Amino acid sequence: MRIGMLLDKPFPPDPRVEAEANCLIEEGHEVHLLCLQEGQESSREDRAGLLERQEPSRENRAGLLERQESSRENRAGLQIHRFYMGKTFQRKMSALCLTLPFYDLWFRKRLMPFLADNRIQALHIHDLRLAREGMWAQRRFGIPWILDLHENYPASLAHYAHTRTLLGRLLIWPSAWRRFETRMVREAARVILVTQEAAEELVERTRISVAKVSVLPNVASRAYLERPFVPSPAGRFRLIYIGDTGQRRGTDLCIRAIARLQERIADLELVIAGTSSFQDTLERLVNELGVRDRVHLLGWRPSDELPALIESCHVGLAPFRRSAHHDTTYANKLFQCMALGRALIASDCPAQRRIVETEQCGLVFKSGDVEDLARCIEELHGDPRRHEAMGQRGRSAVRERFNWHMTGRALVHLYRELERAGAS
């Protein structure tokens, strides 16, 4: 089957998109990805990655595209079709795509030749913002489409800085996005979600058939599975948080817990690898609490550096504050730490709590409760054998169940059903 994927950001990196594409390619499907191109130059690469041509594209002062150029690359069998879009245009128009038509029109202009030139038989839409393109392709060309919801986007909107401004509140309405999501999941041939909790909530709210819903978690990539086990390092007891550092992620709770424990645990350190608009607040908090020598704010780190960074620590953190979004999802970092044999301390958001407690691979604390988080840290610091055993249970769970070889079967089965439906 010739499958087209649609993604409204540069690729790589996106571990989920890459893993799904690899699963389908290994099954014998031909997969094409239409995505955005980073930077202001366009290039076309052959299989060896050699540059064939380079053409500039320009962005005017308003961030609107003056000239659109494209590139194409074969990445381990995945055919990548990139188009340049100005960053300002992308940031503003993606936020307003339910209010203004420009984002949809931009993608639709490129989607039409993409579908025709590659004779696409099924369209795989990554996330809600581009769902209208799937509906359009089905109505215009009869192409079935799959809606892959990476997150609870309507719920997460309430936490974004740009939606809390006066202009954001006037133009971006989470309630409208919720209605739009209901309409799109009813229109799509199949819907993919990241957790069972998300699937149950969506089915109950939208009344769609359970049969059209598949669950595909954000499990660890092959790169993590292939790494040999590295024991926890000797010396200082290190905790690590990786990813978006926004307040809703609970990063400030981790810093406050370190401050409360610094008198009782002399060798305690916290590593935070990530960034957000909340970063300056975290920097000030570190200084106010006097923990500059214990808390290391590394900023954004390339994905290929993360495994070694996790291995340099003892325990991984998933301290998210509870919300409609966090309650029905879990992040890559959960399975990344498990894959590398590190115990977890996670907040009690239901989806991640279920994983941690079922697999006995860490401790759970009450969301937003600094004292409870500090208790968990102190427990694991005082019992090295316990956190090492938790890490090994998590590592075994990833190798046996939470990996793309196992969870990818749901994706393969979905496309087999789609093929049979098309043949009948």
Encode pLDDT of 313-331 as tens digits: 999 999 999 988 888 888 8
Q: What letter does residue 290 receive in the DSSP assignment?
A: T
Give me the CATH topology for the region 2-218+404-423.
Rossmann fold (3.40.50)
pLDDT at residue 112 in the model: 94
Considering only the C-alpha atoms of the chain, give the largest distance between any 2 of them, rounded to a whole number of Å: 70
Q: How many angstroms separate the CA atoms of 273 and 249, rounded? A: 13
Query: In terms of CATH architecture, what is 222-400?
Result: 3-Layer(aba) Sandwich (3.40)
2-218+404-423 and 222-400 agree in CATH topology: yes
pLDDT at residue 41 in the model: 39
The model carries a pTM of 0.84
Residue 373 token pair: 């988080």
pLDDT at residue 54 in the model: 37
- Contact status, residue 134 vs residue 127, Cβ threshold 8 Å: no
Please list, residue by residue across 155-180, b when 16 or more beta carbons sit within 10 angstroms of its beta carbon and e when fewer do: bbbebbeebeeeebeeebbbeebbeb
pLDDT under 50: residue ranges of the chain: 40-68
CA angle 164, 351, 185 (to 5 degrees): 65
Residue 408 token pair: 């990818």
- Contact status, residue 68 vs residue 107, Cβ threshold 8 Å: no
N- to C-terminal Cα separation, the chain = 15
Cα R_g (the chain), whole angstroms: 22
- Backbone φ and ψ of 132, nearest 5°: -65, -25
Strand partners for 315: 239, 343
Q: In sequence order, what are the residues at sequence separation of 6 or more whose Cβ sits closer than 8 angstroms to the Cβ of residue 196?
A: 215, 351
* Segments making up each domain of the chain, as ranges: 2-218+404-423, 222-400
Q: How many angstroms separate the CA atoms of 398 and 227, rounded? A: 13
Q: What letter does residue 128 receive in the DSSP assignment?
A: G
Which single residue is written with the structure tokens 């500090």?
374
Kindly tell me the burial class for residue 220, based on how many C-beta atoms sit within 10 Å of its own C-beta (0-12, 13-18, 19 or more): buried
Handedness of CA 278, 279, 280, 281 (dihedral sign): positive
Quote the distance between the C-alpha of residue 44 and its chain's center: 27
Q: What letter does residue 93 receive in the DSSP assignment?
A: H
